[in-house]
Amino acid sequence: MIDMHFPRPELAARLANELTGASLLSDARNGLFLAQARRTGKSWFLQRDLKPALEAKGWIVLYIDFWKDVKRDPAKLIADVIETAFEQHLGIMTRAAKSLGISKIGVPGTASVDFASTLDFGALSLADALALLHKRSGKRIALLIDEAQHALTSDAGEAAMIALKSARDQMNAAVNEPTLLLVMSGSHQDKLMRLTNSPAAPFWGSRVELLERLGKPYVDWCVERLQTELPALKTLNRHKLYRAFDELGNRPQFFLAAIKDAIRELTERADEIAWTEQVSDRVLAIAAERKNADRDGFAATYLQLDPLEQAVLWRLLQSGTQFKAYDTDAMAFYKAHIGKATTAATVQRKLESLREKNPPLLWKSQRAEYSPYDQSLQDWYNFEFNAGRWPPKVSAP
């Protein structure tokens, strides 16, 4: 079977070195926060590149996706993977295995099941469980938490983050080399920043970085594979494809779909002259069409909102993490846009209605901080604003 994964070993090794190394200029030992847009390869990178790179250094790596089950307490999701790690690395029976009625765990690579030291996870804090795993295994532990910002939407999630911060501080304080590494990723930079950007935030002091995008090397890798599969594609123009991949937001799925559509359209045409010459142009055109269609979609959604909803969303998009829904300036802004004064209660109702749209337009943390639900909404606003086209207008019929 062909491997669909374009590996990024250099990037993984660099981050793994930063995480485990002792550079004075790297703060990664306090936690690495990586943001990048939806569908750009964050989860694949964490699981297929960074995890093996850290494992190769002898770390136990635990991967957790907070979106896996959004109804479950994030602390439970973390506890589950720690329990599994006890079973896998030490052969220790845990409460979860017991409650499933498993009397013997046959994990390849572990000598025997340690019946005597059955653990009760209910009685252990996250910090204790992690410290115990480290002590018993003699290995250092890295937790890779995907969609970490989701923890901010519930009290339980916030508590889990604070527990992790405390575990990190306990396990790393007295040692030269850290024994617990935390890597958190998310598809929304502003939301992830809320884990780090105020004294009340659990990881205050850390910074959110952008995960390097797949970029040109991924396009080169695709071109080589496509040319092996379909030698007729030897005339592909890489520069046009780089631009198309960029227009498509560095999203592999959209890029490959555009190539597939371009090939299909061109081979279906009767005038078959040199269709392979035209593939790259067609991919570029499809990418531009898609980008325009996305923008039109955002504009249509915005224009369907009532005037106060529009004003509230506009204010948020304009203010970013500084957004205050009800301060004097905000109330004056709304008034200027709808032509009359409004009340905080009405604004609150609009914030709720924006959250309840399908798809939702707003995200709210447990501490009542707001962000656009999806980063692409913010990107669209920035683009239109910079192009002098904000606010969107109803187009003439």
Ligand X SMILES: Nc1ncnc2c1ncn2[C@@H]1O[C@H](COP(=O)(O)OP(=O)(O)OP(=O)(O)O)[C@@H](O)[C@H]1O
Which residues, including other chains, have CB under 8 Å from residue 151's CB and lie 6 or more apart? Answer: 66, 74, 157, 158, 160, 161, 195
Which of Mg ion, ligand X, none does 4 bind, CB closer than 5 to 8 A by kind? ligand X
* Binding range to ligand X, per CB under 6 A, among 4-12, 286-294, 305-313, 364-372: 4-12
Are the beta carbons of 183 and 31 closer than 8 angstroms?
yes
Which residues, including other chains, have CB under 8 Å from residue 97's CB and lie 6 or more apart? Answer: 83, 87, 105
Are the beta carbons of 145 and 64 closer than 8 angstroms?
yes
Task: Report in angstroms how near the CB of residue 252 gets to ligand X at its nearest.
Answer: 4
Task: Report in angstroms how near the CB of residue 40 gets to Mg ion at its nearest.
Answer: 9
Task: Report in angstroms how near the CB of residue 144 gets to Mg ion at its nearest.
Answer: 11
Compute φ and ψ for 193, nearest 5 degrees.
-60, -25
Binding residues for ligand X restricted to 21-40, rule: CB under 6 A: 38-40
- What's the token pair of residue 191? 């939301």
Task: Report in angstroms how near the CB of residue 8 gets to Mg ion at its nearest.
Answer: 15
Which residues, including other chains, have CB under 8 Å from residue 71's CB and lie 6 or more apart? Answer: none
Binding residues for ligand X restricted to 270-299, rule: CB under 6 A: none
41 counts as binding ligand X under rule CB under 6 A = yes
Task: Report in angstroms how near the CB of residue 383 gets to ligand X at its nearest.
Answer: 20
Q: Please say which residue, 151 or 347, places its beta carbon nearer to Mg ion.
A: 151
Of 43, 125, 170, 321, the one binding ligand X (CB under 6 A) is: 43
Are the beta carbons of 220 and 75 closer than 8 angstroms?
no
The pairing of strands 141-146 and 114-119 is unpaired
- What's the token pair of residue 96? 């979860």
Q: Output the DSSP codes for 237-252.
A: -HHHHHHHHHHTTT-H
# of chain residues touching Mg ion (CB under 5 A) = 2
Q: Which residue has the closest beta carbon to ligand X? A: 41
Task: Report in angstroms how near the CB of residue 255 gets to Mg ion at its nearest.
Answer: 17
Of 16, 19, 31, 42, the one binding ligand X (CB under 6 A) is: 42
252 counts as binding ligand X under rule CB under 6 A = yes
What size, in residues, is the chain? 397
* Binding range to Mg ion, per CB under 5 A, among 39-47, 106-114, 164-172, 349-357: 39-47
Which of ligand X, Mg ion, none does 91 bind, CB closer than 5 to 8 A by kind? none
Q: Please say which residue, 43 or 125, places its beta carbon nearer to Mg ion.
A: 43
How far apart are alpha carbons 42 and 211 in whole angstroms?
8
* Binding range to Mg ion, per CB under 5 A, among 35-43, 86-94, 191-199, 364-372: 35-43
Q: Is 104 exposed, middle or buried (0-12, 13-18, 19+ CB in 10 A)?
A: exposed
How far apart are alpha carbons 226 and 229 in whole angstroms?
5
Binding residues for Mg ion restricted to 43-102, rule: CB under 5 A: 43
6 counts as binding ligand X under rule CB under 6 A = yes
* Binding range to Mg ion, per CB under 5 A, among 38-46, 100-108, 209-217, 366-374: 38-46
Residues of this chain that interact with Mg ion (CB under 5 A) are 42-43
Residues of this chain that interact with ligand X (CB under 6 A) are 4-6, 38-44, 187, 252-253
